[in-house]
Amino acid sequence: MSIAYIVRRFLAAFGVLIGVSLLVFLMLQLIPGDPVYQILGEMATEEQAVAMRARLGLDQPLHIQYFRFMSGALRGDLGRSIVTNRSISDEIARRFPLTVRIALYAVLIQSIIGCSLGILASLKHRKWPDNAAMLGALLGVSSPSFWLALILMLVFSVWLEWLPISGYTDWRSLVLPSLTLGLLGGGRIARMTRSSMLEVLRQDYVRTARAKGLAERVVVFKHAFKNAIIPIITLIGMDFGSLLGGALITETVFAIPGVAQLAITGISRRDFPMVQGVVLVMAVVFTMTNLLVDIVYSLVNPRIRYQ
Q: 236 to 275, contacts with another protein by CB under 8 A?
A: 236, 241-242, 244-246, 248-249, 252-255, 257, 260-265, 267-270, 275
From 57-65, 71-79, 127-135, 208-216, give the range in contact with another protein by CB under 8 A: 127-135
Rounded least distance, CB 266 to another protein, Å:
10
From 36-44, 60-68, 71-79, 206-214, give the range in contact with another protein by CB under 8 A: 36-44
- Element at 274 (helix H, strand E): helix 272-300
Give the end-to-end CA distance of the chain in Å, rounded to a whole number.
Answer: 9
Q: Which is nearer to another protein, 65 or 293 (CB)?
A: 293
- Element at 234 (helix H, strand E): helix 226-254
Which residues is 80 bridged to in the sheet?
87
Give Cα 39 distance to the centre of its chain: 31
From 3-11, 64-72, 108-116, 211-219, give the range in contact with another protein by CB under 8 A: 108-116
**Contact call for residue 215 and another protein (CB under 8 A):** no
CA of 281: how far to CAs of 35, 102, 139, 261, in Å?
A: 22, 16, 32, 14
**Contact call for residue 142 and another protein (CB under 8 A):** yes
CA distance 159 to 90: 38
**Contact call for residue 167 and another protein (CB under 8 A):** yes
Cα dihedral across residues 246, 250, 253, 259: positive or negative:
negative
Q: Which is nearer to another protein, 123 or 191 (CB)?
A: 191
φ, ψ of residue 214 in degrees (nearest 5) = -70, 150
**Contact call for residue 31 and another protein (CB under 8 A):** yes
**Among the listed residues 40, 70, 120, 214, the single contact to another protein using CB under 8 A:** 40
**Contact call for residue 48 and another protein (CB under 8 A):** yes
